[in-house]
Amino acid sequence: MMSISFQELILKLQTFWAKQGCAILQPYDTEVGAGTLHPATTLRSLGPKPWRAAYVQPSRRPGDGRYGENPNRLGHYYQFQVIIKPSPPNSQELYLESLKYIGVDMQTNDIRFVEDDWENPTIGAAGLGWEIWCNGAEVSQYTYFQQVGGIACNPVSLELTYGLERLAMVLQKVENVYELNWNGLEGDKKITYGDVFLKNEQQFSAYHFEHATTDMLFQHFRDAEQECLKLLGARLPLPAYDHCIKASHIFNILNARGVISVTERATYIARVRDLAKATCSLWLAMEKED
Amino acid sequence: MSWYLLELLTEEIPARMQEKASEQLGEMLKEKLKAEGLDFKSLETFITPRRLGAFLEGLPAAQNDRVEEKKGPSVTASPDAIQGFLRSANVSLEECETREIPGKGYFYFVQKTTKGQSLKSLLSKIVSEIIQEFQWPKSMRWGSYTSSWVRPLRSVISLLNNEIVPLSLEDPHITVGRSTHGHRFLASKALEVHSFDDYKRGLHEFYVMYDPKERFSFIKIQMEKICAEKKLLVKEDDALLKEVVGLTEWPIVATGRIDKQFMTLPPEVLETTMKVHQRYFSVLNHDRTTAPYFLVVANTETIDHQTQIVEGNERVLRARLSDAAFFWNHDQKIPLIERLASLKDLVFHEKIGSVAEKAQRIKLLSSFCFFGDRRDFSLVETAAELSKADLATGMVGEFPELQGIMGAYYAKIEGKPEAVSLAIREHYSPLGPNDKVPISPISVGVALADKIDTLVSFWAAGIQPTGSKDPYALRRSALGVIRLILENELTLPLRDVFSKAYDFLPIGMKKEPKETVLKDLIEFFKGRLKVFLKNKEFDNSIIESVLPPHWDGDIYKSYQILEALDRFLQTSGGQDLLVAYKRAANIVDSAEILDIVLDETLLDQEEEKDLYQVFLTVQKNVETVIRLAADYQRVMERFSDLRIPLDAFFDRVTVQSDDEKVRENRLALLKSIRILLESVANFGTISLP
């Protein structure tokens, strides 16, 4: 049997979670470090209103770039994100069903729930759950949100994050991410992950590690911070949040560029967290006014 | 006799929390049953990744009725007072009896019987409370419920003699009854349970070993069998084994291969990569070198005999080891000395400074802690300077537990002398009471300098361990210093070396003045040394005798005296001398003489002249033995020379002479002997059984 292509994997996960009543959203259109930062997760996980959504989110981690030379590490990759509030009582079974749906045979593979206390200090978020291992490879993160933006989640949301490249590598039994079959075709028509992304990895690594203009980026960080604060004052939490995640991404580039010392790092993270907390509080307050 | 079975089926419980949780459940059950006056014959608790449970046997059918007597007012009390008592006790006057309390008159008494509650209602209460009160290291909420547990609780078996005991729980999705689930993937049906035997047999049929001890030994046996077939050995690791026990309900060991290309990596790198990231066990050849295999403990048995599982794990390991190989090759391109610059950015402690500064201080201090050949001074300084350089390498960034080890490899590759490489590897040792202590002088020098710098800098910054809190393992550092000194028989004056270490610290960080730091730290060492010696089973009062209030901080000397004294006091000569010492001390104490100088001409009786002569000889000999050889065994032998003349003195000489001068002179003689003995150890604190 031909194993699942990269794009088929995305389509199937979308189909599966659509059947579970999730709204299938599109990626957020600004740079983020993880699927969690999409406002459909960060903001919607707050407050009492039920919510179900699933989407692919391209995620940028400037510091993880390896110029396309490491078969496992990428500065840009895809996460498939599911968020369901409140967390359903059979959520583990649903997750395992989704694995079966994309072709993981529970009779021949070893699936494990291994403790992982998830934390995202830049947005003041924390949760408890697991890394999911398939034959020793971490293929998903499974989290019950306990806190977002420093605010306790009530009810609790279930967040599932599938590392799409890793999952596809396990399913296609491929050891180099760039060799993943993207479109499921062979011969001339085959498009690989490398065809799509190798140049991105090479050029963005060079940008993040060597060419990013740091003075300008420091200024951009301050601008984003100021804009976020101003928009909070104008009671516009959604645009304010955009600037909060912009600040976060700029910080990630500066960090990769090696111009932020250890002590400064904590200060910058705290500055972004303050923006995130204020934004989350305002968003929640306005939700309650509705 | 009744039995009760409890199983809390939960989403996967973190492995590290399982053992304690099982113990806690047992403790809570015992405590709460006792509080209700319920006995039982046996209690077993168990845990797997998905279930926490207990089985109680030999419970009574019900709680015994409890009779309680209440004393009321006197029969002569006002009617209001009597009515008040009857109301509060909810009885009529006819139900009361009157009894005399001697000397106080007649009083009302009433006996109230509280009917014992049924076992079922008590267990319902107790178990509901346990679920409420259970303490997990971290717990969570889920869905829209307020209940919390380590991970969502899914269902409960609560059976008393095959009858369901209902519980009060927050989450309506948690069913309480007699049903559970077996293995997540190997068993699909629910399991109905009617007894504990039923439960155990049923779970086994449904691929669950409910007892962690069974999983532990089952894994061990499988690993040993696999290795025996290949004529290899398992690298034993009980901590890892315990973790794996907590990750599996049906543990099946499979063997994977390590690609040949990675076998050139240091064995510690292979082992750490496999263990930390993947929870694999390493396999050794008979000469203890690493064999090209790993053992993975899967949580399932598959129709293809684990073939895909092994292939998958081998792919993951190749990726992990490729990363490790990248670091290994890349790290070697930058000499360790050039790494020092990056250590400036690495914070040792925010109130103390960077690791770069620390490395510099270790270098300065190392020569004061070095007891080897003078020609090797430059070696100890080189080793000290490079001791922390590997913290800036990629490999140690990835695997902090390889600190020291990687530095040693990289130093060797750079062509640094063997002793330098060894010192970089060993300078964190000893890490605990059972860890090996370095013996190479270069290693010892760096190890001492590193630990002493750590201690002095924390004390100078005003940070010390308090109670059970010691987040920087400062007690362990002090124990390390003590063991380094003792096992290498070093005379290291703590005060001097602490003083140097304090001087090397940057001025801005010093919160505490030097004298305070030195005094407090020596006091701290004294405390740690006492704990160390008690663990070696020396008598407490003998330990006290060699660590006086103004202890000089010479650890090795104190230990030598202690050992000699301990041995001496096991002989009858030693014990007799102790008795004689005490007698002399008592006489001197009660006489309250101060500074009377002994006058030889006033010595009168034969026995006191004798004693004085022996005292002079012993004093001279002891001084010589200490100065030339520091041989406290011989000091004790010399001391024992005092015993016979002392005994004769006490037999024949009356200290309380009528002549005041003679009396004082005799007291002065006893005092001199006392001072001589106490110059080595405070015999006064010693009390032997």
B278 contacts in A (CB within 8 Å)? 136
Residue A81 vs residues A13, A73, A140, A149, A180: alpha-carbon distances, Å: 10, 20, 10, 19, 20
Contact A115 B16 (CB under 8 A): yes
Residues 48 through 67 of chain A touching chain B, CB cutoff 8 Å? none
Helix, strand, coil: what percent of chain B each, to 5? 55, 15, 30
Return the domain boundaries, chain A.
Answer: 6-206, 213-289
Q: What percent of chain A has pLDDT over 70?
A: 99
Instruction: List chain B residues with CB under 8 Å of A130.
Output: 12
- Give the model confidence (pLDDT) of B487-521 as tens digits: 999 999 899 999 999 999 998 899 999 999 999 99
Which chain A residue shows the shortest CA-CA distance from B324? A70
- Asked if A6-206 and A213-289 have one fold, the answer is no
* A129-145 average pLDDT score: 96
Of B12, B140, B298, the CB nearest to A110: B298
How distant is the Cα of B189 from the closest Cα of chain A, in angstroms? Answer: 14
For residue A127, the chain B residues in CB contact (below 8 A) are 140
pLDDT at A16: 98
Tell me which H or E stretch contains A164: helix A164-172
Note whether A134 and A170 are within 8 A (CB): yes
Give the number of other Cβ atoms within 10 Å of residue A167's Cβ: 25
B322 chain-A contacts, CB cut-off 8 A: 70-72
Please state, in angstroms and rounded to a whole number, the distance separating the CA atoms of residues B531 and B288. 36
The residue in chain A having the minimum alpha-carbon distance to the alpha carbon of residue B318 is A175
pLDDT at B477 over 90: yes
Q: How far is B198 from A280, CA to CA, in rounded Å?
A: 52
Are B319 and A263 inside 8 Å of each other by CB? no
**The domain A6-206 is classified under which CATH number: 3.40.640.10, 1.10.340.30, 2.60.40.10, 3.30.930.10?**
3.30.930.10
By C-alpha distance, which of A47, A161, A85 is closest to B142?
A85
Distance CA A126, CA A103 (A): 31
Average pLDDT of chain B is 92
- Which CATH number applies to A213-289: 1.20.58.180, 3.20.20.140, 3.10.200.10, 1.10.8.420? 1.20.58.180
pLDDT at B482: 97
**CB-based contact B54:B44 (threshold 8 Å):** yes
Backbone angles phi, psi at B97, to 5 degrees: -120, 160
Residue B145 pLDDT class (50, 70, 90 cuts): very high
Banded model confidence at residue B342, pLDDT cuts 50, 70, 90: confident
Among B173, B255, B257, B308, pick the best mutation site for testing chain A contact (most A Cβ within 10 A): B308
Global ipTM: 0.95
Chain A closest CA to B300's CA: distance in Å?
6
The pLDDT mean for chain A works out to: 95
B105-114 vs B97-101, strand pairing mode: antiparallel
> How close A133 gets to chain B, by Cα (Å)?
10
Closest Cα in chain A to B351: A263
Q: Which helix (H) or strand (E) holds B229?
A: helix B212-229
**What residues pair up with B97 in beta bridges, in sequence order?**
B109
Q: Using CA atoms, how far apart are residues A249 and A208, in angstroms rounded to an integer?
A: 11
Asked whether the CA dihedral B599, B605, B611, B617 is positive or negative, the reply is positive
- Output the pLDDT for position A37: 96
A261 and chain B in contact, CB less than 8 A: yes
Look at residues B385, B348, B552 and name the one whose alpha carbon lies nearest to residue B461. B348
- The angle subtended at Cα B14 by Cα B11 and Cα B19, nearest 5°, is 110
Tokens of B295: 């053992």
Name which of A227, A228, A234 is nearest A277 in CA terms.
A228
Sheet with B252-257, strands from edge to edge, namely B233-234, B281-284, B290-298, B252-257
At residue A2, the pLDDT reads 61
Packing angle, helices B238-245 and B212-229, rounded to 10? 120
CA nearest to B475, candidates B458, B490, B492, B491: B458
Identify the CA nearest to A238 among candidates A282, A268, A272. A282
Which value, to the nearest 10 degrees, does the dihedral of the CA atoms of residues B464, B470, B472, B477 take?
Answer: 80
Specify whether the CB–CB gap between A225 and A247 falls below 8 A.
yes
Domains along the sequence of chain B with CATH? 2-62+118-205 (3.30.70), 66-114 (no CATH), 212-331 (no CATH), 337-537 (no CATH), 562-685 (1.10.730.10)
**B108 DSSP 8-state letter:** E
- Please give the average per-residue pLDDT across B72-81, as a whole number: 88
Task: Tell me whether residues B309 and A135 touch, CB distance under 8 A.
Answer: yes
Cross-chain residue pair A110–B319, CB shorter than 8 Å: no
Cβ(A22)–Cβ(A54) under 8 Å?
yes
User: Residue B689 pLDDT more than 80?
Assistant: no
Size of interface A-B (CB pairs under 8 A): 113
Between chains, do A262 and B347 touch, taking CB under 8 Å as contact? yes
- pLDDT score recorded for residue A264: 81
Closest approach of A43 to chain B, Cα-based (Å): 17
